[in-house]
Structure 1
């Protein structure tokens, strides 16, 4: 019997799939976060970067997403269902 290295059978980690679009003065972000506990999801905005941090099992997911426009940091809406996190950010008035 041939001994194969364990790496042959493991899936390398990958970043969650993220989609972002701007509509009607809001930025809509959709992020795949499979196997994550909803209570572990933390979302914040630092300057023009959206930071998503979540844990699930032994996995820790952190994603930083550059925002195309400045946003209101105190008006972050988020919804998590079936492994998909939806975030809505209000564009800052000029």
Structure 2
């Protein structure tokens, strides 16, 4: 009798257990959208940020913008001045 009860409980619990592991709501963003958001944040200078400098300071954002402009060959029109040096010279001065 105990075996029959155990089988009945196991059989009834299978449909409920399967639903617990199913992903009913997919993520709202696709991989391409996440990559585009990450690239935009990098261009704006918001990432990378050090753990002890969060949220990033204005100087860190300006430095990140300069580094992004150098790495991606942009004109740096969006770059700001860092420590009183022109945007083009600030990156060279820090190296």
Q: TM-score, normalised by structure 1?
A: 0.25
Which structure is higher in helix share? 2
Q: TM-score, normalised by structure 2?
A: 0.25
Which structure is higher in strand share? 1
Between structure 1 and structure 2, the one with the greater Rg is: 2
